[in-house]
Structure 1
């Protein structure tokens, strides 16, 4: 991470905050996706594929 001083008018701070928010949202989405993937795949990995197959699809 490169931390450079703002150019006095503070625009650098606003840009950095926006990038930080986007990065945080990206990481949050990535973690949520991983959690959902584990939650969906866990039953199959644990051998519960037969139970999920009998249930309603989706």
Structure 2
């Protein structure tokens, strides 16, 4: 399980794994599930990156 404090890189890596799994999926439903998980992990990575950027800006301000 990924902890909340982990870096966005962990989420990006997991998203890439899900995309590879989707490419190997044997059914459309399984492929869709892997793609949905990949999108979730990519969204979480972006949220973390945006949060880190805004906190570094506020620290400088």
Instruction: Please report the TM-score for the alignment, with normalisation by the length of structure 2.
Output: 0.57
- Alignment size in residue pairs: 42
Structure of greater Rg = 1
Q: Which has the higher contact order (CA 8 A, sep 6+)?
A: 2
Structure 1, unaligned stretches of length 5 or more? Answer: 44-58
Query: Segments of 4+ in structure 1 off by > 6 A?
Result: none
What 5-or-longer segments of structure 2 have no aligned partner?
1-16
Of Structure 1 and Structure 2, the greater helix share is in 2
